[in-house]
Amino acid sequence: MGDSPGAEQRRQSDPEASAEGRNGISLNAKIGLAGLALAVAAILVTLAIAQCWLGLGSCPPSLPDIRIDAASSLFNAVGYDDPADEYVCLANASDERVDMTGWQLREGNGNLVNTLPSFALLPGARVRIHPGEGRDTRSDLYGTSGGPVWTNSGDSVTLVDAEGTEIAAISYGEQEKELARGRCE
């Protein structure tokens, strides 16, 4: 009734210009529905987190708390750099036994240092990972490297699980290279 000449034509050529868009739903209603969907999703996530926290539902898996102890690692073996004398100290800071079968230790360039054998680290326990050859024990695991692995002036060490997920990583410099001298116990 009060439309100016051509208003109907504008509504037909640009449905969003009118109060109603395509299919008779206004732009404001579309925005309102999107906001409602986001609010419902946020409520569902909050409920899942609360159920996990209260022990009423399942929780997403968390990463094991295995740490690289740089202060207890020996990156620069005394005298000749024998790879069996270098090691990285890993510590299980969790309350759970962690199966580390197939986990890998990598150096700064991403090169593989060790793939761990069938092995589990008990809660509070530590293990030395040597790149060089030797006989595995409960406290020392050895690799197959024929030469030194870590750069004496500084490098980085990364621990990944069997699926390739990074569990821990550290970098060290000139100052840290000779700190340990056998204190990974």
Single out the residue of 99, 105, 121 nearest to residue 156, CA to CA.
105
Rounded distance, CA 82 to CA 145, Å? 10
Chain segment 16-31, per-residue pLDDT in tens: 545 555 566 676 766 7
Q: Determine what percent of the chain falls in helix, strand and coil, rounding each to the nearest 5.
A: 25, 30, 45
Residues 6+ apart with CB under 8 A from 149: 83, 86, 107, 113, 131
Q: What is the pLDDT of residues 21-61, one digit of tens each?
A: 556 667 676 677 777 777 777 777 777 777 776 777 776 66
Is the pTM higher than 0.75? The answer reads no
* Token pair 């209603």: residue: 29
Q: Tens digit of pLDDT for each residue in 71-125?
A: 888 887 766 677 788 889 999 999 999 999 999 999 888 888 889 999 999 999 9
pLDDT of residue 61: 66
Split at pLDDT 50, 70, 90, the class of 67 is very high
Across 44-65, b (16+ Cβ under 10 Å) vs e yields: eeeeeeeeeeeeeeeeeeeebe
Check if the beta carbon of residue 155 is closer than 8 Å to that of residue 108. yes
Between β-strands 140-145 and 126-132, what pairing exists: parallel, antiparallel or unpaired? parallel
- Considering only residues 78 and 162, tell me which one the structure prediction assigns the higher pLDDT: 162
pLDDT on residue 168: 94
Residue 85: per-residue pLDDT: 84
